[in-house]
């Protein structure tokens, strides 16, 4: 009888799949942030922005974005965004310093007024230059700002639910992130309001490998409450640039470093 039981146990071992080691949700989000915002330590890219209102009318923006991790491994980053067209936003500059453990610093230079405007932390989840993206979307959220849980796994994605640690500072109740298992790029993000309804949806439409880095080159943000959407197309992407720290200072808001914007 004992031998028979051992035989049954051995048989069950062969036919019962062994569950793979589980992955922590916070580790998935860390990898997603790294893949989406930190690839190559630095980058220059041209961004074409098409903004559609709830009636389908389109406005366009073209800009050049520079990003540098400054050779640090603590999450610190700096962004410099120079607007090229149309004429009403030409020469406008947005700059962000992504800080660790405290609010980010953000500036907007308005050439028509020759005015440098500081963007308060309370405004980080407001429209980025009239688009359906928010200022915070440009540089992203810190992993510690939300509590993350693994909802499910599909063949292609980790599905992560993230709830804000300080809900009074944000307009969403939670968001759900579909993270690609191979590239760890976030392929879709749905933001939910207090009524448990989706009101903003981010989607990656096209991914290309550039300088060995999987890169989202066509993305979309849609707002189902107000209507309309913004589509971004990234081109002329170049990683691993030697960008001087001086570019990311208030001095260069009024006098852009054109050499690095070409």
Average pLDDT taken over every residue of the chain: 90
Chosen CATH of 22-257 out of 3.60.20.40, 3.30.980.10, 3.90.1300.10, 2.50.20.10: 2.50.20.10
At a CB cut-off of 8 Å and minimum separation 6, what does 197 contact?
A: none
* Contact of 260 with 243, CB cutoff 8 Å: yes
* Contact of 64 with 82, CB cutoff 8 Å: yes
How far apart CA 188 and CA 185 sit, in angstroms, is 9
Supply the pLDDT for residue 10.
Answer: 43
Q: What is the pTM of this model?
A: 0.88
Could you check whether the bond before residue 49 is cis, i.e. omega within 30 degrees of 0? Answer: no
Domain parsing of the chain, residue ranges: 22-257
At a CB cut-off of 8 Å and minimum separation 6, what does 44 contact?
A: 64, 65, 66, 236, 237, 238, 241, 243, 260, 261
Strands 186-192 and 42-52: unpaired
Output the tens digit of pLDDT for each of the chain's 262 residues: 444 444 444 434 444 443 344 689 999 999 999 999 999 989 999 999 999 999 999 999 999 999 999 756 677 899 999 999 999 999 999 999 998 888 899 999 999 999 999 999 889 999 999 999 999 999 999 999 999 999 999 999 999 999 999 999 999 999 999 999 999 999 999 999 999 999 999 999 999 999 999 999 999 999 999 999 999 999 999 999 989 999 999 999 999 988 899 8
pLDDT digits (tens, 9 = 90+) for 28-44: 999 999 999 999 989 99
pLDDT digits (tens, 9 = 90+) for 185-223: 999 999 999 999 999 999 999 999 999 999 999 999 999
């Amino acid at each position: 009888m004992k031998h028979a039981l051992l035989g049954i146990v051995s048989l069950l071992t062969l036919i019962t799949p062994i569950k793979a080691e589980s992955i922590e949700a916070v580790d998935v989000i860390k990898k997603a942030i790294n893949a989406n915002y930190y690839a190559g330590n630095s980058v220059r890219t041209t961004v074409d922005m098409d903004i559609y209102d709830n009636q389908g009318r389109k406005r366009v923006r073209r800009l050049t974005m520079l990003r540098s991790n400054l050779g640090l491994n603590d999450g610190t980053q700096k962004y410099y965004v120079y607007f090229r067209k149309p004429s009403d936003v030409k020469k406008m500059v947005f700059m962000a310093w992504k800080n660790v453990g405290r609010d980010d610093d953000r500036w907007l230079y308005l050439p028509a007024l020759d005015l440098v405007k500081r963007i308060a932390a309370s405004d980080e989840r407001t429209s980025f230059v009239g688009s359906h993206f928010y200022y915070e979307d440009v540089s992203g959220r810190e992993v510690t700002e939300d509590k993350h849980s693994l909802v499910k796994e599909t063949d292609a994605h980790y599905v992560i639910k993230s709830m804000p640690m300080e809900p009074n500072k944000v307009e969403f109740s939670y968001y759900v992130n579909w993270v690609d298992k191979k590239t760890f790029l976030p392929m879709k993000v749905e933001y939910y309001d207090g009524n448990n309804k989706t009101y903003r949806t981010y989607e990656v439409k096209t991914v290309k490998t550039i300088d060995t880095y999987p890169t989202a080159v066509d993305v979309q943000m849609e707002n189902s409450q107000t209507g309309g959407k913004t589509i971004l197309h990234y081109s002329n992407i170049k990683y691993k640039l030697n960008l001087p720290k001086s570019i990311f200072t208030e001095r260069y808001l009024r006098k852009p470093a054109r050499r690095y914007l070409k």
